Chain A
Amino acid sequence: MSSYDTYKYDVLVIGAGGAGLRAAIEASARGVTVGLICKSLLGKAHTVMAEGGIAAAMGNVDDRDNWKVHFTDTMRGGQYLNNWRMAELHAKEAPDCVRELEAWGALFDRTKDGKILQRNFGGHKYPRLAHVGDRTGLEMIRTLQDHCIHQGVEVHMECTIITLLKDGGRVIGAFGYERERGRFKTFHAKAVILATGGVGRSYKITSNSWEYTGDGHALAYDAGAELIDMEFLQFHPTGMIWPPSVRGILVTEGVRGEGGVLLNKNGERFMFNSIPEPYRNQTSDNEEEGWRYIQGDKNAKRPPELLTRDHVARCIVREIKEGRGSPHGGVFLDISWIKKKISNSEEHIKKKLPGMFHMFKKLADIDITKEPMEIGPTTHYMMGGIRVDADTQMSTLPGLFAAGECGAGLHGANRLGGNSLSDLLVFGKRAGEYAAKFSKENNVGIIDEKQITATEHYALQPFEREKGDNPFDVQFALQDMMQQLVGIVRNETEMLRAKEHLRLMNQRAKNVFVTGNREFNPGWHTALDLRNMLLASEAITMAALERKESRGAHFREDYPDKDPNCGKYNLVIRKNADGQMTIRQEPIPEIREELKKIIEEMK
């Protein structure tokens, strides 16, 4: 019954956002054949949505910046659960990665002396984000895409992977389907890189598109790889909330970087009310000083709106819960107020934040140069993911690599804005390099036809049922449930209920029913994505239950404080021999003396 096309590459890259493209470019530059799989059309991946910028300590705007400061900021932001080696590599290599984009044609906004301009962002001590207005992600993905297509990389657009293929303990390929005709495809590769992005689609309010269903997380887990830090899911403080149809769409942190302030319904800048201890001596305690910082005064400290995302999101939730929210259940984000400070504010806002101006005007009838926006937290980014070696990005399975959002370690308990785009570049490049190396040192594995037959059978089941659940209904139920029970504020009772719901939903997912045929059928695609979404949701819930403290993006109202003992380990999830999900604490390795000293010096 098996009928599929087979493709052979040295390196197969699954996912074509920033990390996947950068990995494909690197592997190809090292002289191996590369196949690249996109779930959508090329150039539409979620990287295109990134707005604010790429964090890299180039020191173009403030020459006090260097990799040590960036490293320290990243570790502090991640509450020291980060893989410190990754944080070190990231801080050291990001500037060159940005310059490389420029050499490939990217055009970043400029400083007065003609260098790449850098902007302020939450948790970054100095202006650090290389950017293009508020469309940095578009610039980045287009630059990578246009570079990649001249490298001889073979691209498979609108193709989804359902399983990784294994030869013993090693990953040797992947099996999936193409959307257009619904035909199966087998990819035989010496090394496989996962760059599939995040899991946000498991939540109702999210900035993520339909693609972000935890595919890489689930593929790796199913193949036997380990996941870490799954309790740490970032809720971006500022998503659109009104009108209902735009709920969740991202409003860049760049708004705050350019001077935007958060206000409750009483017009109070509530962020001044709670400044966490580790940030006290970096944060201004009055509005006037905050504005001077935005204007580039090197002696001023940054405004509290630019604290880390986990903290800002929680403060917003607190304002809403305590009755000080905006009419539609959010708070206000106001950039228009800068008209009191600068004469050409309208022009300035349109120049710096053209996308935001356009989006609010078009979708919400709001002119952000004249009035405040209404915003609230939105599910945005998965800090957790596939456990990888810091230097090579290889997972715990030989031949399987991971980079970008689906990999984990760099961000610890909370990611700083701008650190994801640099993550994609630094570790996409490394994954490409080491996957190419692995492919040169290893032979092709042998594909197990039985695995393919079983996967085909599984994938076609939804067509064979006479009746069953609508896959979209199951997806919506999951999104509602995760939003309510495993959201920003968590507790044991609710999460135990979530576990029970997940068990029942897994049953429902096994009985979904699809109408129509295999040709471009979103019902079928959703039916197959469900398993991944459920698996990611289960891992999030299990880890969130296990971490009995509040840290970074993980907040437990039944354990509201940080517990120093919990700061000594990461939570690692894997499938045991019986196919059950298991979790264990893995001690964080002792940080290198030299790095420890850097952190101490900058406290």
Chain B
Amino acid sequence: MPTAAFQILRGDANNGRFESYSLEISEGMVVLDAILLIQAKYANDLAVRWNCKAGHCGSCSAEVNGIPKLMCMCRMSDLPLDKPVLVQPMKAFPLIKDLVTDVSWNFEVKKKIKKFKPRPPDAADGTWRMAQEDIDRVQEFRKCIECFLCQDVCHVLREHQLHEKFVGPRYFVQVASLEMHPLDVEDRREDLKKANGIGYCNITKCCTNVCPQDITITDNAIIPLKERVADKFYDPLKRFFRILFGKK
């Protein structure tokens, strides 16, 4: 069995340093396996979040060799083992300890997004009818596992730290899932423009590239939302008609 060297960030925001570990690698092993083995054998207090270990829950987000990833889906065999594997916490959020960051900001942002508001049921049985074709694109957005890797990689948050003015790709995906939901009648465009700061996104597609669920964040969620915002706020003729006919 080959041996791999690891450099893992240990400590908290005031006192972080890389510590070295080495471990025998077995077939099929993922980075999370390695971290958990190191934890069990050498560092019982090594802090890391994980749950499902199958890419379904989005807990084990970290940066492996500098790239934001789910550690449970990152195979050791895909990494170069001639140098140490570098494992760090997500950079866009304050460090709590080791690989665990304070992601509570995300949960606060979510609360501020206007909730789902369905139109009245239209079928006799008190429910709705929807065609699969009409929900396909929303189902893509609802694949999101809230791993926050898109938030981590987004330069508006990562470099510019505009957490107060910009909600980040994850929440544009959520707003898109609501705005394009066939039953929803709420209007979130003003929030998108102002509170959510969609204008800060300059569509570099970094979020799309790291999404472990392969959600086409930029093209399918953010750009259509930007268009809707432009439609509402920057198209005087359409605006006039909307006022006249009260359309969304």
Contacts and interface: CB of A to CB of B under 8 A. Distances in A.
Interface of A: 40-46, 48-49, 99, 102-105, 107, 109-110, 113-115, 132-133, 135, 137-139, 142, 146-147, 149-150, 155, 157, 180, 209-211, 242-246, 249-250, 355, 358-359, 362-364, 470-473, 476, 514-517, 519-524, 526
Contacts of A476: 40
Interface residues of B, number: 61
Contacts of A43: 146
B181 interface: yes
A470 B40 contact: yes
B73 A42 contact: no
Contacts of A103: 118, 121
A516 B44 contact: yes
B97 interface: yes
15 contacts: A105-B178, A115-B127, A138-B142, A146-B110, A146-B116, A211-B51, A246-B54, A359-B55, A362-B75, A470-B44, A517-B45, A520-B47, A520-B98, A522-B48, A523-B39
B20 interface: no
- Point out which of B52, B107, B127 has the most chain A C-beta atoms below 10 A from its C-beta: B52
A472 B50 CA distance: 16
Contacts of B45: 514-517, 521-524
Interface of B: 12, 26-30, 33, 39-41, 44-59, 73, 75, 96-98, 100, 102-104, 107, 110-111, 115-116, 118, 121, 126-132, 135, 138-139, 142-146, 178, 181, 183-184
The 9 closest A-B pairs by CB, nearest first: A243-B28, A523-B44, A516-B45, A114-B129, A105-B116, A472-B40, A520-B47, A209-B51, A110-B132
B142 A472 contact: no
A314 B179 CA distance: 48
Given A44-B58, A107-B139, A363-B73, 18 more contacts: A40-B51, A43-B146, A44-B57, A46-B51, A99-B126, A110-B131, A114-B131, A132-B142, A138-B56, A138-B142, A149-B110, A155-B107, A209-B50, A359-B55, A363-B75, A364-B28, A520-B97, A522-B46
B58 A363 contact: no
Contact of B56 (A41, A49, A107): A49
A344 B4 CA distance: 43
A299 to B, nearest CB: 26
A120 B221 CA distance: 33
Nearest to A209: B51
Nearest to A103: B118
Nearest to A211: B51
A137 B115 CA distance: 20
A150 B117 CA distance: 12
- Point out which of B51, B58, B145 has the most chain A C-beta atoms below 10 A from its C-beta: B51
Contacts of A180: 96, 102
Nearest to B72: A363
A47 to B, nearest CB: 10
Contacts of B40: 470, 472-473, 476
Contacts of B73: 362-363
B241 to A, nearest CB: 29
Contacts of B55: 355, 358-359, 362
